[in-house]
Structure 1
Amino acid sequence: MTGLGAYSISIIGAGVAGLTAACALAQRGAHVTVLERAPALQDVGAGLQLSPNAIRVMDALGLWPRLEAASAPSHRVELFDTAGRLVSRLDLAKHRPNDRFRLIHRARLIELLADAARSAGARIELGHEVTDLPEADLVIGADGVKSRIRPLLNGTETPFFTRQTAWRALIPVEPGAAPAAQVFMGPGRHLVSYPLADGLRNIVAVVERPDWHDEGWSHPGDPADLRAAFARFGGPVPGWLAQVDQVSLWGLFRHPVAQHWQRPPGDGPALALIGDAAHPTLPFMAQGAVMAIEDAWLLAACLERDDLAAALAQFQTLRAPRCQRIVDAANGNARNYHLRGPTRAVAHAGLRAVSKLTPGLMIERFAWLYDYDPTAV
């Protein structure tokens, strides 16, 4: 792929969004520099779920063989109640046999994308704190929920605290672990877990609580608090949580999808937002990293137009409605996982009935999400 050789592009942030964009743009011939304030691409983070809409981009970038080797398959999504009884099963392997769903440690994905970006000719500068806009034709803000580029386009915004706090932990995976993402739902709380490819099990646990915690998933938490919050859960949950010796904690905030994603060239470089800088989402649809990957590909594809201003406008037109729909769906799941009392009993009974009578219907509700092919837009 060639065609962007006239552009110099600076990307702020070496996360999933920034590195995927660096790879897609450099493969098309652009002169790309990624500026990352961390001194190293550290082995941090936890698990990510990648659905077919993201895998299609990785395939188009020539990265599927490496991704397959670094990740584990996900064959099912299973919903359980607090006692560990099955409520619903989405059989991905059976009902969507041609699709690829993968589970990967974020650090492995970052490593893979950084190597690919460098191989394509992008420069990655670590330990680079951005205080002024770089001199470039285009500056891409891929700098997450606390983006410094987003306020330049949208002014100061105040996120809404959802009164939910999440823990994230990794434990050794048990032999013969099911290749499934499993969700355990209880009143005012839920826990998600799935195995990764490198001998680890990922755990994310969310509970409604009124006290506030900073946004960002790197704050240290107390494993005893996690165990206490889920003490009434059965099934495999007690055994998993007994193994947790280190956990991170963060508050969940709702942000609006950015009203302005881009600025054409004029007084200073053109600007664009991708990933969490444009559309932070609650982690209840497993689409945060996926949207970042979609963004990266579509921005690079749009930039193949001759007119930079038109390309950036087209990018926002293509991405904003879809990302808004995904963010809204994640907000809805935040409620559905935490139902209480009679509402919870009725909802679970309905899910059990649908899973038994029309098992393919549940997964087809998400066809709009998984059938999307960014490389064909």
Structure 2
Amino acid sequence: MHSPKQSPSALIVGAGITGLATALSLSRRGWSVKVFERTPAFEAVGAGIQLAPNGMKVLRALGVEGEILNRGFLPEALEMRLGKTGRRVFSIPVRHVAPYRWRAPYVHIHRADLVAVLADALLAAAPGALRLGASVQTVDEAKGVIRLSDGSEEAGDLVVAADGFRSGVRAQLFDDSPPRDTGMIAWRAVVPAQRLGSDIPPETACVWAGPGRHAVTYHLSKAGLVNFVGIVERQLDQPEQYERWDVEGTRHEALADFAGWDPEVTTLIERAEGLGRWTLFDRPPSPAWVSGCAVLAGDAAHPMLPTLAQGGCQGLEDAWALAACVCAYDGSRDAAALSAGLQAYAAFRQPRTAEIQRRAMRNARDFHHRPGAEALRAYSTLWLGARLLPWAARAQLDRIYGYDITAEAPSVPAT
């Protein structure tokens, strides 16, 4: 008798958006998956996340689009306004346009809700796949073995490092250099709509631009929550102490950072229940994503500034592309097919993620123009372009939002 063919197996480090989506994508293709998350429980950390159409196409392919739409919020438009005057620079409709122009909706959702939807879908497909409170200490990329903090070991065909910006796997196998301090800090708050009353902002995703800083405001769920993010160019003492989203800042300091700004912005700061503050770090595009049977994905591979709202979406694209590229590996042959798939994944994803990293950094500069001729040139060009050639303004987004990884990702044939 022939022994039954064993399913290929993947060990995924990190149960954030990228890790869970990768596990679900691999599971849908017949892989046995285990996800290891160091925190003992999922918490409602973070705040809102914007799911652009390119990310929503992955969630649709994974079978969770309906639940995302049930929990999320569809903005009326994407717009830019000047922080101090409130003057609108441009507005691009998305609620009714996105499903037709980019073939998927544009959605705002609380990060915790997105993680919950992905985790529920994974556990329905692969009961027992998720291990919380399991901290991965080391990875043997030659053997596919991870060692946990309790001394136990797990073995698999593939190890996926989806453990975020401060990836321990990346530091061990690829690059342990410290990240770069961008010289910017971020403020973040979620404000219940009932605390705003008649001051609730419009149903748009709005970038408020100004000298040396910008803010982003939007509704993030049907439950009546409004998201505020403020990015300010300034240094903190000991910036490495302010990497976590849950480090509290003071209302007085946040209001000082946005003094004289439009009341739509300052009202959110005044009525927030708490304000998180952290330093923004980044890394240059990584030249290496693959080592043996270990591979990087999401922020572990390409951390990017939040100024293009694409970090989560690029992690979703990684998840789909990685699973598509390794699907030819069936767990019964030598490692040639797996190695070919991993190299194909890296070669396929690196150019796009590097481009989006660069565009996010460029957005930060564009949003923060100093007063005077430079700002006038920049904002006048944006305003004229959006008013006179609205199709051109939308075309700027086509390269990102119109992209469909579920149609574009290569499938590497068996060797």
**Structure 2 length as normaliser, TM-score?**
0.86
| Residue in structure 2 matched with residue 203 of structure 1 by the alignment | 228
SS at match of 2:137: coil
1:354 to 2:385 alignment? yes
The residue that corresponds to 1:59 in the other structure is 60
Q: Please report how far the alpha carbon of residue 76 of structure 1 lies from its aligned counterpart in structure 2 after TM superposition.
A: 1.0
Which residue does the alignment assign to 1:89? 91
Deviation of 1:58 (Å): 0.7
Aligned counterpart for 1:117 among listed residues 113, 122, 143: 122
1:222 to 241, 250, 254: 250
The TM-score normalised by the length of structure 1 is 0.94
1:9 aligns to 2:10 (yes or no): yes
Residue of structure 1 in register with 2:110 after alignment: 105
Distance 2:35 2:298 in 1: 15
SS in structure 2 of the partner of residue 128 of structure 1: coil
The residue that corresponds to 1:286 in the other structure is: 309
Q: C-alpha separation between the residues in 2 aligned to 1:273 and 1:348?
A: 38
- Report the AA paired with residue 374 of structure 2: T
TM-aligned CA deviation for residue 5 of structure 1: 5.7
For residue 89 of structure 1, report the CA deviation from its aligned partner. 1.2
Deviation, structure 1 residue 348: 1.4
**Equivalent residue, structure 2, for 1:276:** 299
Partner residue, 1:267: none
Kept in 1: contact 2:164–2:299 (CA 8 A): yes
Corresponding residue for 1:167? Answer: 187
Give me the whole-angstrom Cα distance separating, in 2, the residues matched to 1:102 and 1:178.
15
The CA deviation at 1:151 is 2.2
1:261 matches 2:289: yes
Which of 310, 333, 336 is the equivalent residue of 2:366? 336
1:238 equivalent among 255, 258, 266? 266
Could you say what secondary structure the match of 1:284 adopts? helix
Which consecutive residues of structure 1, in runs of 5 or more, have no partner in the other structure?
Answer: 265-269
CA distance in 1, matches of 2:297, 2:99: 31
Aligned to 1:323: 353
- Alignment equivalent of 1:130, drawn from 129, 133, 136: 136
Counterpart of 1:20 in structure 2 is 21
Q: Structure 1's 229 and 373: CA in aligned 2 closer, same or farther, altered over 3 A?
A: same
Amino acid at match of 2:407: A
Partners of 2:166 and 2:64 in 1: CA distance: 29
The answer on whether the counterparts of 2:74 and 2:95 sit within 8 Å (CA) in structure 1 is: no
C-alpha deviation, 1:303, in angstroms: 1.1
Which is further off, 139-148 or 230-239? 230-239
Instruction: State the percentage of identical aligned residues.
Output: 36
How many Å apart are 1:366 and its aligned residue? 1.7
- Note if 1:190 corresponds to 2:214: yes
Larger Rg: 2
Q: Bigger shift: 208-217 or 182-191?
A: 208-217
Shift of 1:238: 2.2
Measured after TM superposition, the shift of residue 93 of structure 1 is 3.9
Cα distance, 1:260 vs structure 2: 1.0
Q: SS in structure 2 opposite 1:72?
A: coil
- Find the residue that maps to 1:196 and give its secondary structure: strand
**Cα RMSD, aligned residues only:** 1.6
Offset of residue 317 of structure 1 = 0.8
Q: For 1:166 and 1:131, how far apart are their aligned partners in 2?
A: 30
How many residues were matched structurally?
369
